[in-house]
């Protein structure tokens, strides 16, 4: 029988899906996160899923988030550059391409489903995050619920309320409907209302679906696993918010209701499905590559 991956109290189990919340896990004890294992993984997965980014130091300067060109550098060399640079690697959908992480993710969510009454994920997607000691991710919101599992290094996460002061209904509708990327306008004074959690190896954090958040690395090469799970409830919320985007921009309704239950919910879900047929979810192009990874350049970043 597989050893338990989570180390959760009754409070942790009861808080799954709510939060913001931090709990313990043992996933970091696996050898999959060692330098040699990570280098081998980078060498065998398609490089099309290894997406490099760089960024500035000011959390308000979201315009400094830049996407890099795909790289064919050997995995071990790439890890060395990230450890000494200012880079963030998203290895997207890693569980579909790497048998070990795919198995770890499946076992992890099977365990969570046994612990949490009524939790039945419809799908789970894993993204491996490998980032420099001083890297950051700007203020943004995700479409589906996710959890951040820390394996190596230390990072700090700020999670903000989901209210209109922190993310306007219009911005959230655009994110969920796929009309814009995940980044949101940020002001430093919002931090007064944030929940701040430091994550060290063996800790996991989660927060409510669509809650704005940002991340700053504190120390060491950071290795994390971000897992996104879709449930019937999260899909219903997605459909309601996406339906509101369609109602606002196609039907001219400027203040559509955000209620997820009640008589109007079925109509919103139907409207969302119709919207997907009439106007399929657009592909947000995102930033074009503006740099390439170069060991000889400052922070490992050479402008194209």
Task: Give the pLDDT confidence score for residue 249 in this predicted structure.
Answer: 62
Task: Give the pLDDT confidence score for residue 243 in this predicted structure.
Answer: 82
pLDDT score of 283 more than 90: no
Task: Give the pLDDT confidence score for residue 244 in this predicted structure.
Answer: 80
pLDDT score of 257 more than 90: no
Task: Give the pLDDT confidence score for residue 1 in this predicted structure.
Answer: 45
Averaged pLDDT, 184-195: 96
Q: Is the distance from CB of 101 to CB of 40 less than 8 angstroms? A: no
pLDDT > 70 in the chain, percent: 87
Mean pLDDT of the residues in the chain:
90
* Ordered DSSP codes for 143-178: SS-EEEEEEEEEEEEEE---STTTS-HHHHHHHHHT
CA–CA distance from 7 to each of 57, 203, 206, 223 (Å)? Answer: 34, 9, 15, 20
pLDDT score of 36 more than 90: yes
Out of 64-68, 223-227, 275-279, least confident range = 275-279
- Residue 165, token pair as written in the block: 């002061």
pLDDT score of 253 more than 80: no
pLDDT tens-digit series, residues 7-26: 899 999 999 989 899 999 99
Averaged pLDDT, 45-52: 98
**Token pair 């996460």 in the structure block, residue:** 157
pLDDT score of 40 more than 90: yes
pLDDT score of 240 more than 90: no
Domains in the chain, CATH or no CATH each: 6-166+184-231+286-303 (2.60.120.10)
Angle, alpha carbons 231-235-236 (nearest 5°): 120
Whole-prediction pTM: 0.90
pLDDT score of 263 more than 80: no
pLDDT > 90 in the chain, percent: 74
C-alpha–C-alpha distance, residues 134 and 299, integer Å: 10
Averaged pLDDT, 58-75: 96
Task: Give the pLDDT confidence score for residue 90 in this predicted structure.
Answer: 98
pLDDT tens-digit series, residues 122-168: 999 999 999 999 999 999 999 999 999 999 999 999 999 999 999 98
Total residues found in the chain within this entry: 304
Task: Give the pLDDT confidence score for residue 13 in this predicted structure.
Answer: 97
């Amino acid at each position: 029988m597989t050893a338990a991956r989570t180390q959760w109290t009754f409070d942790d189990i009861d808080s799954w899906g709510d939060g913001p919340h931090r709990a313990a896990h043992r996933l970091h004890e696996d050898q999959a996160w060692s330098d040699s294992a990570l280098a081998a993984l980078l060498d065998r997965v398609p490089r099309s899923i290894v997406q490099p980014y760089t960024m500035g130091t000011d959390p308000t300067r979201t315009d400094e988030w830049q996407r890099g060109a795909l790289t064919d550098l050997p995995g071990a060399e790439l890890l060395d550059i990230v450890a000494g640079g200012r880079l963030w690697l998203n290895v997207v959908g890693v569980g579909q391409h790497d048998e070990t992480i795919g198995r770890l993710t499946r076992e992890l969510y099977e365990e969570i489903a046994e612990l949490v009454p009524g939790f039945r994920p419809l799908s789970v997607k894993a993204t491996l995050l490998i980032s420099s000691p001083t890297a950051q991710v700007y203020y943004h919101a995700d479409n589906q619920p996710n959890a951040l599992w820390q394996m190596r290094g230390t990072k700090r996460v700020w999670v903000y309320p989901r209210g209109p002061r922190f993310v306007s209904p219009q911005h959230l509708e655009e994110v969920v409907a796929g009309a814009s990327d995940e980044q949101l306008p940020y002001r430093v004074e919002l931090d007064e209302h944030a929940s701040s959690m430091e994550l060290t190896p063996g800790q996991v954090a989660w927060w409510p679906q669509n809650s704005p958040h940002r991340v700053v690395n504190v120390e060491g090469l950071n290795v994390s696993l971000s897992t996104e799970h879709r449930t019937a409830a999260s899909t219903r919320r997605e459909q309601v918010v996406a339906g509101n985007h369609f109602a606002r921009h196609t039907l001219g309704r400027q203040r559509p209701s955000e209620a997820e239950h009640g008589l109007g919910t079925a109509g919103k879900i139907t409207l969302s499905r119709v919207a997907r047929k009439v106007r399929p979810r657009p592909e947000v192009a995102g930033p074009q590559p503006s740099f390439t990874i170069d060991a000889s350049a400052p922070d490992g970043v050479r402008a194209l």
